[in-house]
Structure 1
């Protein structure tokens, strides 16, 4: 399914990487540019290597469908400490990539800058300790008043929105939370979106 952009809209492609086999991974490696290949080779942890490769492949497939070009023709420039920059084709959409655990996602918009964050809600994490470290004692105290499940939901919502705003790199015109059974998903945009973002599942998986 191709990303759809009704007016000032956005789409999020979400992939469960467990659906991807070795043959697909080998194919996607050939899509990487020289700088991407060099960075890919430096990852030591297998999960992180897989997340990086599939994030770039997912972005290329989604953008290729939007622009009606072959995904392997899309060129990205590596930038240290920043999201990649689109080199070709010129005039492509705004985008943001995120990953957590076995999930990988990218967001696309033809009209506004985006910041996307997904977080796998891990019940083993001490969310109060993380909240104190990341957001301060006052936020942690508010979370502590909530029942355990609500506390976890509220923490991940706060975490994802903070990450999405950071990735956007400017004041957000709007931030939207999308429902998912396993993930906290927040998309922030520089301009308010005319419609809720479309969530497209497994758009890199084989037909």
Structure 2
């Protein structure tokens, strides 16, 4: 029985370093997914795309008891049709599966839930970033004041806490970055993550539960869930890759 079936009251996440990207995953991708992976010029970007597509197929294959290449998942953008949208499982009259994917820096994170819409966001802390410009673009005036009150050595990570909280929230609702992030106000960076107000969606205040996500010292993260859950379970995705690597390479039909 899968983690999700045993513990449906949790949001389940799998983390994998991009160094674990393996060529065997190419054999299970759809043609559109493979084309997207090849479209990236940088090797690190190809690795992130390969892991994102491949690991999701492996996880869903275990949930659905089918071969990875048969998993009916699409990332087709509703606007342009290209393969860069939110992953969606195309199965009718069966248990719904909520999916959220994020990748940045050295990590890929994939989340699944059968019960609750949710969003996960991770961000590699870019020391060379134009911090003042990012703060003005994405934080409300009240958040900017709170951010500037942080000790200087905490402001870089503090900004990324604001950012990942906001992006996880708009991922959970499906609004994405069509929403001005200044309108989504969250708790101060030195407090537990929480949605405080949302100009366009006031009904979401009190309905969204947020959890911090820690991967390493260079990465900030957050999970936002619509509804009440017991927490987040973080699993090592390398175990999933190891289970499937030999099977895919040696067995026919995959």
Moved more, 81-90 or 48-57: 81-90
Q: Deviations over 1:87-139 (max 9, x none)?
A: 25953521101000121010111111121101112333343331112224543
Contact 1:13-1:62 at 8 Å conserved across structures: no
Higher relative contact order (CA 8 A, sep 6+): 1
For structure 1, which segment, 37-46 or 159-168, has the greater mean C-alpha deviation from structure 2 after superposition? 37-46
Distance 2:233 2:36 in 1: 31
* 59 and 126 in structure 1: CA distance in 2 versus 1, 3 angstrom threshold: same
Q: Which of 211, 229, 234 lines up with 1:176 in the alignment?
A: 211
Q: What runs of 5+ residues in structure 2 fail to find an aligned partner? A: 78-83, 175-203, 244-254
Match of 2:235 in 1: 200
In the other structure, the counterpart of 1:3 is 3
Kindly report which structure 2 residues correspond to 1:4-153, keeping only aligned pairs within 5 A, or say none: 4=4, 6-20=7-21, 24-25=22-23, 27-80=24-77, 82-87=85-90, 91=95, 93-153=97-157
Cα distance change on mapping 1:51 and 1:165 into 2, 3 Å: same
TM-score, with length taken from structure 1: 0.83
Q: Which has the larger radius of gyration?
A: 2
Paired residue secondary structure (2:157): helix
Please state whether the residue corresponding to 1:82 is helix, strand or coil. strand
Unaligned runs of 5+ in 1: none
User: Does the CA-based 8 Å contact 1:161-1:186 persist in structure 2?
Assistant: yes
Per-residue CA deviations over 1:135-156 (Å, capped at 9, x if unaligned) read: 2454333222211342223211
Sort the Cα spacing of 1:29 and 1:7 in 2 relative to 1 into closer, same or farther, 3 A: closer
1:205 Cα deviation after fit:
4.5
Contact 2:18 2:44 in 1 (8 A): no
CA drift of 1:159 comes to 0.4
Q: Give deviations 1:14-46, integer Å, cap 9, x for gaps.
A: 0011133xxx22x21121112222323322333
Deviates more, 1:54-63 or 1:177-186: 177-186
Q: TM-score, normalised by structure 2?
A: 0.69
- 2:191 is aligned with 1:190: no
1:165-200 CA deviation, whole Å, 9 max, x = no partner?
Answer: 12122545212112332321211122221x111011
- Alignment size in residue pairs: 202
1:174 and 1:191 in contact (8 A); partners too: yes
Aligned to 2:200: none
SS in 2 for 1:91: coil
